[in-house]
Structure 1
Amino acid sequence: MPVRFRLLGDIEAHVDGRPVDLGHVRQRGVLAALLADVNHPVSVDQLADRVWAGRPPHRARRSLASYLSRLRRVLAGAEDVVIAYGPGGYVVRVAPEAIDLHRFRTLVAEARENQELARFDEALRLWHGDAFAGVDTPWTEAMRRTLAAEREAIELDRTDLTLRLGKHNAVLAEISSRVAANPLNERAAGQLVLALYRGGRQADALDHYERTRRRLAEELGADPGPALRELHHKILTAAPELDPPSEVAVPRQLPAAPGWLVGRDAELAVLTRVVAAGGTVPVCAIGGPAGVGKTALALRWAHDHLARFPDGQVHVDLRGFDPSGEPMTPKAAVRRLLGALGADPATLPPDEDELVAHYRSLVAGKRLLVVLDNARDAAQVEPLLPGSETCAVLVTSRHRLTGLGVRGARLVDLDPLSEADARDLLARHIGPEPVADEADAVADLVRWCAGLPLAVGIVAARATARPGFPLDVLVKECRDASARLDALDAGDLTSNLRAVFSWSYTALDPAEAEVFRLLGVAPGPDIALPAAAALTGLDGRQVRSVLRSLVGANLLQEPVPGRYRMHDLIRLYAAELAGEEARGAALDRLTELQLHTARSAAHLLRPEHPVIELATAAGCAPPEFEHRAAALAWFEAEHAGLLALRRAAAAHGRHRAAGQLAWFLSAYHISRGLTA
């Protein structure tokens, strides 16, 4: 298991992400003394001097051996660390990058060589307090002073780079604090003078120079050094080389806002509340089936709140369900985001983790909106999330991104529009007059669009393409359910419902795809878990897992626990895909289960009814009802589905099954007074 050692703060070790107890302060000091020279032997005398400051106890060798024996035991779970003794003394063998001190120095060297802010920031994030905290010996005190000086130097180097990049406002507060803590540091004073000047505060810059000059004279009897004096002269002469580099253009990458958005006031309000709450990076993951308007909602909100994000808005289509190829990799997406933020592609690191670190450093402190459209899953999105609470993220996906929800994102699920909202949307597309003049045709079209804004838009596009044709022409095309998806086709991939649904379908694995197809042929508005198991020929555990995946993909809904339903247009698409043989076998299995269950329930409701004998159930195990109330509840939940199953049986020539279902249903109808 991987091990990580921390020396830049309290002396700690973590194995597989969990802290281990390193023992008392002297024992921790022994480990730190070896880790400082990792992979190099430290003699017993040198180690004793580091631990006991030249005054080792009488049995120092035995004490060291005892401490290191205990350390071996507590680190036994880490396969990549070895504590050994040899001719040169004791040595800890482990990868240097596992120790924050050595990782810090490596990152500092890379940051200075590449002049990259992300490396500077990564190095500084390794600090969690004073180095070797809690251990006080002359050696640790000397190491603390050395490392503190290294840290101060890297902070000054980072500030120099930030100023060269023209980001003087971003570091002004940091420089001011540093100068207040060490007013005689001329390099820090020069950085503050330059930042003030570039921020349009020339008088303040000159005033701070003068205060620094006087303090140096009073406390040290010296004048400012050449660099600070030259900076002062350039400010007095307004030297052009002091001007900040030209700012990178603020990214404004949002696609156009939708022309109309209706019925989404509640969801827009949720987005506003989440972004306004603060405290952490606000992330909203908008989910829903294909065509429900996820991107439209995200773009409408984004355009309405541009003022919240003066540092820009970036947009990436992650192509999670793109028919033309594979989803975009996180690495490619990060590079695209960095390009939008002005990073030079030629200077970007090749490693994905390094790219992500650079991206998060670049957006730190920015008031930026990141729109990640058409995500495949949470794993594709997570590397693209900023680390700064000043940013906000909107994600859209056909999958319900539960993984992001676990990490604090707000999941916003979009349902289809109500008929009133869909009618309003159609009126905005084609105008109020046709909607008013052909109210009956509009009612039919709206009902068949089933609340999908994409379907309404397709109907509107077809209507406006032939303005002289009455809407009733479209109604006639849509009336036949088997041809309805053909009618909802405006001529290209993005406005063809069948094509749009196919992008979600092709992302399913074979088992999910088969269950999806069979659910499309199930009669009735919804289906219970036992019925779904019979329909698909799977056992309850298997079908539950697949149904959960389909719900996550927004191809299925679970409005109440254990009952599932499909959107009407998705059902039509699924039914088209089911082969005739598979369709017949699935309906036979479903009919067999429902017949046996209905027989048991009907007998409890009307025991005086003549009993109809059924063939032994071969492929199902019908539930037994403990009492009349349970039987009644089952009939109430299954009533619409049983009626639809009876009609399907009759339509396919299974008249005996249709008659048996009618007989069992009559027991429920009589019990409920539904015989009139």
Structure 2
Amino acid sequence: MDRAEPTGFEVLGPLRVQLGPAEPELGFPQQRALLALLLVRVGRAVPADEIVDVLWPGRPPASALNVVRRYAGSLRRLLEPGLPPRAAGRRIAGGADGYLLAADEDEVDLLRFRGLARRAKRAAATGRPEVALRHFLRALGEWRGPVAAGIPPAVREHAVFTEVERELVRTAVMAADAALLCGRTREVLPHLRRALGLDPLNESVHARLVLSLAAAGRQAEALAAHESVRQTLSRELGVAPGAELSAAHTRVLRQDVRPADAAPRPEKPPGPRVRPAQLPHDIERFTGRYVELRCLRTLLGTDGGTAAVLLTGTAGVGKTALAVHWGHELAERYPDGQLHVDLRGFDPVAEPLHPAEALRGMLGALGVPERRLPSGPDALTGLFRSTLSGRRMLVLLDDAFDTEQVRPLLPASPGCLTLVTSRRGLSGLVTAGARPLRVDPPSAADARDLLAERVGRDRLAAEPAAADEIVGLCGRLPLALAAVAARAADRPDLPLATLAAELRLARGTFDALAGVRTAFATSRRHLSADAARLLRLLARHPGPELTAEAAGELAGLPVRRTRLLLDELADVHLVSETAPGRFARHPLLRTVAIDPAEA
């Protein structure tokens, strides 16, 4: 590299460029802001309209694009001295549509930070906290202060910069978790305090600070830190500490955080870890779902860094079967075992399982004696997360009702993966970081394969038209196909054409598929009265799709109110939005909606 070219860029603190042995002046404040923006998006093109939005948080001037072009030209000449006029250069590429800054990982502190953090997370996920902590500390060593310090304050408040600061805070939390596992918490205390400087009310950081102080033998400071944040939360937000911070406080009070240099307590000798294996049996000869499985493998990635995956879909679509099958595929990656809880979110008889009851069951499966279980739900959550700390476990939470039922059941350990299935979208979980995957009915070919596995391929081959009709009448729904296949297995002499005729005649009564009808009815039971009425009315619409306006006319309601009701139906997958403003029902829902027994 030419000695005159940049040898280093820094944005995790004061904005700096090292140009050989010199550090050049970076120009006007807005020009510095453009460089900072290109650095936090290094290697990716930043559209021109986004640049204008970031550089002028209020109302941009009419000449904004021309100003950006001039600043980009000045930065090109600054970063590549001697560059001929109007030459493209190799550092800053682009033009009116956007700009990109090119740099190697070893040249930019943010890229070095992210590379080290990735290595740390891989080490933590594979049970190597010492290695993880070493990489985390090196990553956090790149952090020198507020991101892009020195650019205009109004620009620095833009989400593109604050998101990098949140990334730094999350990394400090993960470093503290690794330090707690290997007894080196003193090394992360400065980073936790800096993280609180960026996010003073972050309870996850406060919880790690309390635990880390106690583990460093500074219990009085730990209790004082908890009391300080408790007062701040009460004064500024009018709330009490949440479950995570309360659990940390409880552990300190119980002296359940052993200082790194303390000897093991003789009255609590370490016992063998219980390794639960609660995953249900995988479906024999599981077929199809190749696209979904490929998406799930992509979501998880190679380092296992994803903490939760949410599978959503309508009743009977096969969410649980897919989750169980994938869980068995992943089992070897989670050697400390698997937990499984049926949350009964849409059970036709029982009420949804209370989170405290679910936690008691999982803690019992992990070998925690009944006498050690606290009574409060927050304390149960804290004990559950502490018990899983440092372990690599798979947790399957099946048939969730809502986000509040699931949230207390999520492990905090970076080595755990939680699979959640629900008929609802659970947007609160997605906002908190769960990776969603919608499970739709299988393709016609996959549905036919599913039927063939249960009925017999020779039998299907003998009556292909009847088999295709059965698949269509069942709406490709796995639960409906399984019900028909069970009847076919009971009557091996019954032609498939007769089964297809039964299904045709069953329209309006659903007698042939009573279990499927029950599954849909439990989804409908949780609807508001207006949404349930709209669902019944939708059965009168002759086509497979309709607009929100048409649905409003059908129900005699304003379009805005109708749209809210359609969103409620879509949340439990009783309708789907196939295009903006257009909605479709599952083919079987017509039968459910007009069943005389439900009138």
For normalisation by structure 1, the TM-score amounts to 0.52
Cα deviation, residue 290, structure 1: 0.7
AA aligned opposite 2:287: V
Distance 1:474 1:107 in 2: 62
Contact 1:518 1:578 in 2 (8 A): no
Q: Residue by residue, what CA displacement relative to the aligned partner does 1:187-212 show, whole Å, maximum 9, x if unpaired?
A: xxxxxxxxxxxxxxxxxxxxxxxxxx
Counterparts of 2:493 and 2:413, CA distance in 1: 55
Q: Does 1:463 align with 2:518?
A: no
- Give the conservation status (yes or no) of the 8 Å contact 1:281–1:387: no
Rounded Cα–Cα distance in structure 2 between residues aligned with 1:483 and 1:161: 68
Conserved 8 A contact 2:423-2:572:
yes
Q: Secondary structure at the match of 1:498?
A: helix
CA distance in 1, matches of 2:383, 2:434: 23
Distance 1:450 1:102, change over 3 A: closer
Match status 1:111 vs 2:136? no
8 Å Cα contact 1:274/1:282 also seen in 2: no
Q: Distance in 2 between matches of 1:80 and 1:429?
A: 58
Structure-2 separation of matches of 1:38 and 1:295: 41
Q: Which residue of 2 aligns with 1:449?
A: 474
Shift of 1:480: 2.5
Q: Which residue of 2 aligns with 1:160?
A: 264
Q: Provide the C-alpha distance between the structure 1 equivalents of 2:254 and 2:418, rounded to a whole number of angstroms.
A: 29
Shift of 1:79: 9.0
What is the distance in 1 between the residues matched to 2:246 and 2:275?
37
Cα offset, 1:262, TM superposition: 2.6
Describe the SS at the equivalent of 1:316.
Answer: strand
Contact 2:248–2:382, Cα closer than 8 Å, also in 1: no
1:378 aligns with 2:482: no
Are 1:282 and 2:307 counterparts? Answer: yes
Q: How far does the alpha carbon of each residue in 1:1-20 deviate from its partner, in whole angstroms, 9 at most, with x for none?
A: xxxxx99957989999489x
In 2, Cα distance between the equivalents of 1:102 and 1:375? 25
How far did residue 273 of structure 1 move? Answer: 2.5
Mapped partners of 2:549, 2:460: distance in 1: 44
Aligned to 2:501: 476
Q: Which runs of 5+ in 1 are unaligned?
A: 1-5, 20-31, 40-73, 82-94, 121-152, 167-244, 490-495, 581-676
Cα deviation digits, residues 86-144 of structure 1 (max 9, x gap): xxxxxxxxx9x99x999988753x313xxxx4xx2xxxxxxxxxxxxxxxxxxxxxxxx
**Match in the other structure for 1:437:** 462
Describe the shift of the 1:156–1:454 C-alpha distance in structure 2 as closer, same or farther (beyond 3 A). same
2:520 paired with 1:487: no
Contact preservation (8 Å) 1:278, 1:389: no
1:430 CA drift (Å): 1.2
CA RMSD of aligned residues (A): 3.8
Structure 1 residue 154: Cα displacement: 3.8
2:287 pairs, out of 259, 262, 272, with: 262
**Cα distance in 2 between the residues matched to 1:76 and 1:268:** 46
The amino acid across from 1:284 in the alignment is V
Residue deviations 1:159-207, cap 9 Å, x none?
A: 62599452xxxxxxxxxxxxxxxxxxxxxxxxxxxxxxxxxxxxxxxxx
Aligned residue identity for 1:325? A
**C-alpha distance in 1, partners of 2:425/2:588?**
20
| Secondary structure at the counterpart of residue 327 of structure 1 | coil
Residue of structure 1 in register with 2:172 after alignment = none
Would you say the 8 A contact 2:508–2:592 is kept in 1? no
Change over 3 Å in CA distance of 1:11–1:381 after alignment to 2: closer
- In structure 1, give the amino acid aligned to 2:585: M
Q: For 2:375, what is the secondary structure of its paired residue?
A: coil
Q: 1:440 to 1:358 in 2, by over 3 A?
A: same
For 1:352 and 1:295, locate their aligned partners in 2 and report how far apart those are by CA, in whole Å.
27
* Higher alpha-carbon Rg: 1
Aligned to 1:317: 342
Deviation at 1:403, TM superposition (A): 1.7
Alignment of 1:294-373 (within 5 A): 294-373=319-398
Say which SS state the counterpart of residue 437 (structure 2) adopts: strand
Question: Who is 2:447 aligned against?
Answer: 422
**Residues 425-467 of structure 1 deviation map (CA, whole Å, 9 limit, x = unaligned):** 1111111111011112112111101110111111110001011
2:441 and 2:247 mapped to 1: Cα distance? 52
SS in 1 for 2:507: helix
Q: Does residue 591 of structure 2 align to residue 572 of structure 1?
A: yes
Of the three residues 544, 558, 571, the one matched with 1:525 is: 544
- Map of 2:143 onto structure 1: none
Distance in 1 between residues matched to 2:317 and 2:249, nearest whole Å: 52
Matches within 5 A, 1:186-225: none
Deviates more, 1:571-580 or 1:553-562: 571-580
How many positions carry a matched residue from both structures? 388
Aligned CA distance change for structure 1 residues 161 and 295 (closer, same or farther; 3 Å):
farther
* Corresponding letter in the other structure for 1:111: R
User: Given residue 254 of structure 2, which amino acid in structure 1 is its aligned partner?
Assistant: A
CA distance 1:471–1:165, change in 2 (3 Å): farther
Give runs of aligned pairs for residues 74-85 of structure 1, distance below 5 A.
78=236
- Equivalent AA in structure 1 for residue 477 of structure 2: L
Q: TM-score, structure 2 length as denominator? A: 0.59
Q: For the residues of structure 2 that align with 1:534 and 1:416, how far apart are their CA atoms?
A: 29
- 1:507 is matched with 526
Q: Which amino acid aligns with 1:426?
A: L
Unaligned runs of 5+ in 2: 1-188, 204-219
CA contact (8 A) 1:478 1:484 kept: no
Give the C-alpha shift of residue 305 in structure 1.
2.2
Q: 1: distance between equivalents of 2:440 and 2:246?
A: 53
Q: Which is worse superposed, 430-439 or 569-578?
A: 569-578
> Does structure 2 retain, via aligned residues, the 8 Å contact 1:373–1:396?
yes
Give the counterpart of 2:567 among 548, 566, 570.
Answer: 548
User: Does residue 400 of structure 2 align to residue 400 of structure 1?
Assistant: no
Q: Distance in 2 between matches of 1:301 and 1:429?
A: 21
Secondary structure of the corresponding residue to residue 521 of structure 1 = coil
Q: Matched residue of 1:421: which SS?
A: helix
Shift of 1:481: 5.4
1:561 aligns to 2:580 (yes or no): yes
Instruction: Say if 1:281 and 1:350 are closer, same or farther in 2 by CA, change over 3 A.
Output: farther
Query: Whole-Å Cα distance in 2 between the matches of residues 334 and 463 of structure 1?
Result: 41
Amino acid at match of 1:461: A
| Residue aligned with 1:305, SS | helix
Query: What amino acid maps onto 2:561 in structure 1?
Result: Q
1:165/1:315 CA distance change after superposition, 3 Å: farther
Deviation at 1:544, TM superposition (A): 0.9
Matching residue of 2:175? none
The 5 Å alignment of 1:609-648 reads none
